[in-house]
Structure 1
Amino acid sequence: MCEALKDTYQLFEEIGRGKFGTVLRCFSPTRNDFFACKLVEKRLLVDPSDRECLETEPKIMTLLSPHPNIVQIIDAIDSEDSLCVVMELCRADTLYDRMVTQHVLSEAEAAAYMKQLLQALAHCHSLGVVHRDVKPENLLFGLNGRLKLADFGSAVLSFLQGGKAMLEGVVGTPYYVAPEVLMGRLYDERVDIWSAGVVMYIMLSGIPPFDGESAQEIFEAVVRSNLRFPPRAFRLVSSAAKDLMRKMVCRDVSRRLSAEQALCHPWILNGGDTSSMTDMTG
């Protein structure tokens, strides 16, 4: 373990575990506060792309900080055998945990979470950052209860030399990945909007829009992109919510909403309260 880390922070219990390391609760005597320390062992990074992600993540988090809906980076300590990223401490449960416990969220609760997620994505996209792995497991809650977008290990910068670059490479999680990613096409920040729309769909129904018995079957369902709203699962879901999901989980990228556009949708603006909205069909 990096000696500079032990010199600067007091380390406590493990609060999380990832593919390449652990997350520990730590205390900074100089700041007089507790934080989360992501400790990555470099010997486990065999793939060069994993090493690149390791080096890029702290830079991207620094670029994005501070923002109320993005986990804030506090410090990064690099050594020969490990990288330690110190971040703000969040609550133990993720949005995924809450979805498992509640199964289906109310439209008001789902709208509150979606607004915060879209605000985080709008900030990322305005700075050229594409997250590429938006899913409930990567949505944490700050100690004040605010939703926080986390885990920028797959994130990339799409702004190059003052312009906008199209991206490539299959990155993401089966249920949430956009079809253009799986089809090997060049893509942009709107892959995050697709993923956020899938999160919304599952929050309101308790089921994924594209399913299968294996990752391959899920991928095939995503590529077909046949978005449906089974009456049994969506009986109580408003037409306004369905309208927003159609415009986010939209196969035609040119018609897919941006984060800023989605934030202006009536369902978001009304906080999921559909009582005063005109009916949205089609």
Structure 2
Amino acid sequence: MQATTFVEDWLCYNTTLGEGAYGEVKLLIHRRTEEKIACKIINHQRYKDAATNINREVTIHRMLDHENIIKYFGRRQEPLKEYIFLEYASGGELFQLIEPDIGMASHAAQTYMKQLMHGVNYLHNKGITHRDIKPENLLIGEGGVLKISDFGMATLFRYKGKERLLDKKCGTKPYLAPEVLQKPYRAQPSDLWSCGIVFVAMLTGELPWADATDRNVEFAKWRKDVYISETPWSKLGNTALSLARQILNLDPNKRLTLEQIEKHPWMKFNFDCGSSKDNVDGSVERPTKRWNSMVEAETKHNRDTPQVTLSQPIITYRPSSIDQLINDLKTTRREQVCFSQPTQYEDLMIQFTQSPITKDNFHNLSKRMTRFYVTVSYEKTLEALCSVLDTLHYSWTTDASGAVTISTVDFMKNQLIFKANLFEMDGRILLDFRLSKGCGLEFKKKFLKLKSCLCDIIDK
């Protein structure tokens, strides 16, 4: 992993944190303090319709200040490019914590669901609807705190106390409420439907349907109430299924409200109450709540997963040096930014100072479960990877840096694009995969398949 000087004391790492409709997100790190922020880079020359949409996104995002919302720090505009500066979420996307076809531990899902509700409640109270809630847009910050991101499809649905119906059909198909595709719809129930799909995905590791239309067999079974023996529903305990059914009520007027979701028994159950403890007098105190037929073991699968720290972090103020960065960028000459072509050799020497990834800066990579070390050389790894991609009939291309872009379709026949990058760290090769476009759960399934095919070269 290499870094280039972005502006003054800020380094830009060439690892990509994510991609959106109008560009990609890079990591900026302060050379001395090691403060980190995310930088969304929009190329207006490449995306002609970006300006209007980006302005709307920024207008909404700059209004927000909540612990479960990614913070907006500022922007820098140039004739051909634009830079938007956001809070860096070191834990990556929520889908990275969801095991395909299994899900995650109930206590973790409950914590994330509560945090998601807090963030959505804040948005709705300000009259804002997100309209694209999905695991790919839910990031994990320090201390395991969930943060809602990407406000490219967000809009105001209430102004000065007056609510309006929405008619734009936007979002991601598997997470869209059925009414969004049919008629003018209310903002709040449609956002909560998306949260319900996220809830099912967290507990089961799969999505219930490709889209909520009568053409879809799985959704038709849900509508006709003949789904109980089908997955993902058969994986849910009674209480979790009760919550899912009420959030995913086909009638938006009968769907659970946010307040009702927070009061549901599944949301209030103590998943950490399964152990007994000894009292001072030697007697054993039994848990006040026990696992029972209503909660069961929550699924028929063993959901033991690596522990994730879920405690809330101490609330901090915006770092002054980040504000200084924004100020510097507003006043810095355009040719000083590393993404512009330098005009003089001296500029090249100053700006493009590169540093390889080492054990000391490895923590600067965002956390992903879709990477592993290999035992062979860079060239042999690339050769093995591309050979497997050919065997699986995945389309792929490479660029000058050696990054491999892989294109295929998921089981819902939707396009799925992800990228593989090779990093050298202290003499070892790290093969890193990240989602570029499509469903995060389907991406993880493809990753596990590739990992299985490459097991002979994986450093165990």
| TM-score normalised over the length of structure 1 | 0.83
* Alignment pair present for 1:55 and 2:61: no
Distance in 2 (alpha carbons) for counterparts of 1:101 and 1:231: 17
Q: 1:223 to 1:75 in 2, by over 3 A?
A: farther
Residue 68 of structure 1, CA deviation = 1.3
Aligned with residue 25 of structure 1, among 21, 27, 40: 27
With 226-235 and 97-106 compared, the bigger mean Cα shift is at 226-235
Matches for 1:61-100 after TM superposition, within 5 Å: 61-65=61-65, 67-91=66-90, 93-100=92-99
Q: 1:207 to 1:15 in 2, by over 3 A?
A: closer
Residue 196 of structure 1 is matched in structure 2 by: 195
Matches for 1:218-257 after TM superposition, within 5 Å: 218=216, 226=223, 228-230=227-229, 233-235=232-234, 237-257=236-256
8 Å contact 1:183–1:223 — kept in the other structure? no
Distance in 2 (alpha carbons) for counterparts of 1:88 and 1:225: 39
Secondary structure of the equivalent of 1:44?
coil
Secondary structure of the equivalent of 1:116?
helix
Distance in 2 (alpha carbons) for counterparts of 1:232 and 1:177: 19
Distance in 2 (alpha carbons) for counterparts of 1:101 and 1:279: 25
Q: 1:234 to 1:209 in 2, by over 3 A?
A: closer
8 Å contact 1:129–1:157 — kept in the other structure? yes
Secondary structure of the equivalent of 1:255?
coil
* Alignment pair present for 1:123 and 2:122: yes
Residue 37 of structure 1 is matched in structure 2 by: 39
Distance in 2 (alpha carbons) for counterparts of 1:91 and 1:30: 19
Superposition CA RMSD, Å: 3.0
Residue 105 of structure 1, CA deviation = 1.7
Matches for 1:157-196 after TM superposition, within 5 Å: 157-196=156-195
Distance in 2 (alpha carbons) for counterparts of 1:222 and 1:73: 37
8 Å contact 1:179–1:225 — kept in the other structure? no
Residue 6 of structure 1, CA deviation = 3.6
Structure 1: which 4+ aligned runs deviate by more than 6 Å?
A: 29-32
Matches for 1:105-116 after TM superposition, within 5 Å: 105-116=104-115
Please identify the structure whose Cα radius of gyration is greater.
2
8 Å contact 1:107–1:237 — kept in the other structure? no
Secondary structure of the equivalent of 1:17?
strand
Distance in 2 (alpha carbons) for counterparts of 1:178 and 1:244: 16
Q: 1:231 to 1:272 in 2, by over 3 A?
A: farther
With 52-61 and 190-199 compared, the bigger mean Cα shift is at 52-61
Identity of aligned residues (%): 27
Q: 1:229 to 1:42 in 2, by over 3 A?
A: farther
Distance in 1 (alpha carbons) for counterparts of 2:87 and 2:32: 15
Task: Supply the AA of the counterpart residue of 1:51.
Answer: A
Q: 1:261 to 1:80 in 2, by over 3 A?
A: farther
Task: Supply the AA of the counterpart residue of 1:39.
Answer: I
Q: 1:27 to 1:211 in 2, by over 3 A?
A: closer
* Alignment pair present for 1:15 and 2:17: yes
Q: 1:56 to 1:8 in 2, by over 3 A?
A: farther
Task: Supply the AA of the counterpart residue of 1:11.
Answer: C
Distance in 1 (alpha carbons) for counterparts of 2:92 and 2:100: 11
Distance in 1 (alpha carbons) for counterparts of 2:239 and 2:183: 32
Residue 370 of structure 2 is matched in structure 1 by: none
8 Å contact 1:140–1:148 — kept in the other structure? yes
Secondary structure of the equivalent of 2:17?
strand
| TM-score normalised over the length of structure 2 | 0.53
Secondary structure of the equivalent of 1:87?
strand
Secondary structure of the equivalent of 1:63?
coil
Q: 1:223 to 1:178 in 2, by over 3 A?
A: farther
Q: 1:151 to 1:216 in 2, by over 3 A?
A: farther
Distance in 2 (alpha carbons) for counterparts of 1:180 and 1:8: 50
C-alpha distance after superposition, 1:173-196 (max 9, x if no partner): 111001011113333221110011
